[in-house]
Structure 1
Amino acid sequence: MKTTLFILYGGKSVEHEVSLKTAFTVIKAIDYSKFIVYPIYITTAGLWCSLGKQPEQVLELSDLIVESNSRNAASSMGEVLIKQLSIEGKKIVLPLLHGSNGEDGTVQGLLELLNIAYVGNGVLASALTLDKALSKQVLAQAGIHQAEYLSFRYDQWLEDRSSICLSIEKKLKFPCYVKPASLGSSIGISRCEDKQQLIEGIGEAYRYDTKIVVEREVIGREIQVAVRGNDKPLASLPGEFIHNHPFFDFESKYMDKSLTMSIPAQLSETMTSQIRQAAIHAYQSLCCSGLARVDFFLDANDQLYLNEINALPGFTNFSMYPVMWEKTDGTRYSELIEMLIDYAFMRHAEKQSIVYTR
């Protein structure tokens, strides 16, 4: 008996294009002898659209983009819920939505209400990991070392810009990084070397969010670890991108064809073990399940700083997350997808034992 697999992609997010690339790779890698696949595209306006054709016909990235006849999100979602997600039998949802309105717990909350199994992190972990300010607070409580930072809401910025700039200069100094609190793929992030750049960077970050995080710069290597699993997660060998960019921004990540991966990263056995343990500790501290990528900085004195946790890391054939697993234990891309689906079914089955009446 085949499992029905619904793939959500696109989304009302500035990371829409990244989601399309992820979905395209996943759809081409699915084992159709095991799954009946229903791709569901969400437009930049938040409208839900059924692909309306067999996945085997998806040959180009543009084949994944379809138009909706609905006038609003509610009616488009209702149509998909009635015609597809209500299908009987064994089914699961694979949300491949990067960033806002998908990776932040919103879609996960909907799927919880529908009582449908879904791949990846739950509502709490999704919301926490996408909100850099809140995740930093939780990680600090867990005793995980991080770079110094400050966080500000937009209303605070409007009320007293001078005090905010002064506090950043005194506590963090220059250079520093300004980031939207709830966004990924290095979008809206600025490296600031003086007050004028700081003001411009803050203005840029507030274009994408109503809360920002400002961090002290850490000079060092950027080390990544892939983590998978539920109650007893596993950490991959650490990896790193080899590049010459002073700031690894969106263009550097996705446009630079000269990027090379070093997996495993050239580290001592002791440091490798320390990083893997720290990744699992952070993963569990934020209540993660299914998968996440944990990013660190490692300075010249071998001081480790946790940078952030990405609850839905890049997932193309050339993304660090799947490649790290292949280099660690030989897990192929298609096998990794099925592992993540198995984790989701296990978590869903556990939840069915919870009693909701007295």
Structure 2
Amino acid sequence: MSENTSQSQRKPRVAVVFGGRSSEHAISVVTAGAVLRAIDRNKYDVLPIGITTDGRWALTADDPERMSIADRKLPSVAELAESDEGTVVLPVDPASREVVYSEPGSVPKALGEVDVVFPMLHGPYGEDGTLQGLLELSGVPYVGSGVLASAVGQDKEYMKRVFLSYGLPVGPYEVIRPREWEQDPDAARARIADFAGEHGWPLFIKPARAGSSIGITKVDSFEGLEEALEEARRHDPKVLVEALLRGREIECGVLEFEDGPRASVPAEIPPVTDHDFYDFEAKYIDSASGIVPAPLTPEQTAEVQRLAVEAFEAVSCEGLVRADFFLTEDGGFVINEINTMPGFTPISMYPRMWQETGVGYAELVDRLIQAALRRSTGLR
């Protein structure tokens, strides 16, 4: 058998990359475990690569059972790594997709070529365009949005600016930039006071470039403002201040098909009783459940699906997006944000919405890999 024939008959190799340096490290591990469990091993070869919290790329065990939340304990890449010092290196030459593994004092070992990367990272250093840029330089196709869309989708300020430029409805917000807070914090506090005077309390103080509701605080008065700002700045020096939107929380998934993006049936996140809002604990530890499909009228369903696809297109997204909305008391939808790599466990809202739409979890994973394989790297 010739080398070309052997190459053409081998299964595509998928590198599932997860973990990372962001505060969403553990959720990324959980998500990757679900994807590893679902990938059709008769169709694809799989290479799991974990990124530790200090940024080391590690070869990890292909063991989805160890990648879940157990007894409220969050998993980590360090627990899964096959070595405390071994490092995985992606190709630096677009003409080669050979991945190399090296350990101190040992000869580097070739792990074979990778055909596509499934980046299951959330937050900075993974979902924000940084990893996507590295993969573009390496010439390796990958699942999901490109550099620009990933960066815009991570930064809530610029995401909202793009939405507004496309005429999408956005709620009131203010941005406190790092230099402003460092040079004139009193002016920043005064601006927040004016914002509260116009829109009322409570306010939501959140990191501009984080996810999974990490670092978000709901404040009911000036008394809790300082602590909330410091908590948000602990995750990101740029802070977003948002007014409360009274209404129902509605989510909608977007998936790219061969003929373009389509929207799933929407879901509703009901008010949580044991938490101030739908925070990290409610989402991942206590597993607060959404309603799928959301109890909306046919007209409301069609409208939120239209807006979700418009948001996907406005940011130039690819592959997948979860779009989050508020259905306000006056009956209109306001878009809160999009997630270019949403939570992806079988109980996460994005897969559940597509399950109800007719695309099961394993098929969803396969569609995303196939879309990435069809798409070349380069300017998008």
Relative to the length of structure 1, the TM-score reads 0.90
Equivalence for 1:4? 13
Alignment of 1:289-304 (within 5 A): 289-304=318-333
| Amino acid of the structure 2 residue aligned with 1:38 | L
CA–CA distance in 1 between the matches of 2:173 and 2:183? 20
CA–CA distance in 2 between the matches of 1:277 and 1:78? 39
Equivalence for 1:247? 277
Q: 1:78 to 1:260 in 2, by over 3 A?
A: closer
Deviation sequence 1:247-289 (CA, Å, 0-9, x none) = 11111111224x2321111111111111000001011100100
Deviation sequence 1:200-247 (CA, Å, 0-9, x none) = 111111111121111111011110000011772000111012333441
Deviation at 1:344, TM superposition (A): 1.2
Equivalence for 2:153? 129
Equivalence for 2:3? none
Is residue 2:364 matched to residue 1:336? yes
**Residues 47 and 68 in structure 1, CA contact (< 8 A), matched pair in contact too:** no
Match of 1:270 among 275, 278, 299: 299
CA–CA distance in 2 between the matches of 1:12 and 1:77? 17
C-alpha RMSD of matched pairs (Å): 2.3
Equivalence for 1:159? 183
Equivalence for 2:106? none
**Residues 91 and 116 in structure 1, CA contact (< 8 A), matched pair in contact too:** yes
Match of 2:127 among 103, 107, 115: 103
| Amino acid of the structure 2 residue aligned with 1:104 | D
Moved over 6 A (4+): none
Q: 1:315 to 1:164 in 2, by over 3 A?
A: same
CA–CA distance in 1 between the matches of 2:278 and 2:76? 30
Relative to the length of structure 2, the TM-score reads 0.85
Structure 1 residues without counterparts, runs of 5 or longer = none
Deviation at 1:303, TM superposition (A): 2.0
CA–CA distance in 1 between the matches of 2:110 and 2:340? 24
Equivalence for 2:213? 186
Is residue 2:89 matched to residue 1:77? yes
Deviation sequence 1:52-87 (CA, Å, 0-9, x none) = x5x3x553226962165549xxx6536994348983
**Residues 2 and 35 in structure 1, CA contact (< 8 A), matched pair in contact too:** yes
| Amino acid of the structure 1 residue aligned with 2:204 | Y
SS in 1 for 2:218: strand
CA–CA distance in 2 between the matches of 1:345 and 1:268? 38
**Residues 68 and 76 in structure 1, CA contact (< 8 A), matched pair in contact too:** no
CA–CA distance in 2 between the matches of 1:85 and 1:345? 22
SS in 2 for 1:260: coil
Q: 1:35 to 1:199 in 2, by over 3 A?
A: same
CA–CA distance in 2 between the matches of 1:58 and 1:16? 16
Deviation sequence 1:98-121 (CA, Å, 0-9, x none) = 111100111110110111110011
Equivalence for 1:13? 22
**Residues 144 and 319 in structure 2, CA contact (< 8 A), matched pair in contact too:** yes
Q: 1:192 to 1:119 in 2, by over 3 A?
A: same
Deviation at 1:346, TM superposition (A): 2.4
| Amino acid of the structure 1 residue aligned with 2:16 | I
SS in 2 for 1:22: helix
CA–CA distance in 2 between the matches of 1:11 and 1:205? 19
Equivalence for 2:66? 60
The count of aligned residue pairs is: 343
| Amino acid of the structure 1 residue aligned with 2:239 | I
**Residues 290 and 349 in structure 2, CA contact (< 8 A), matched pair in contact too:** yes
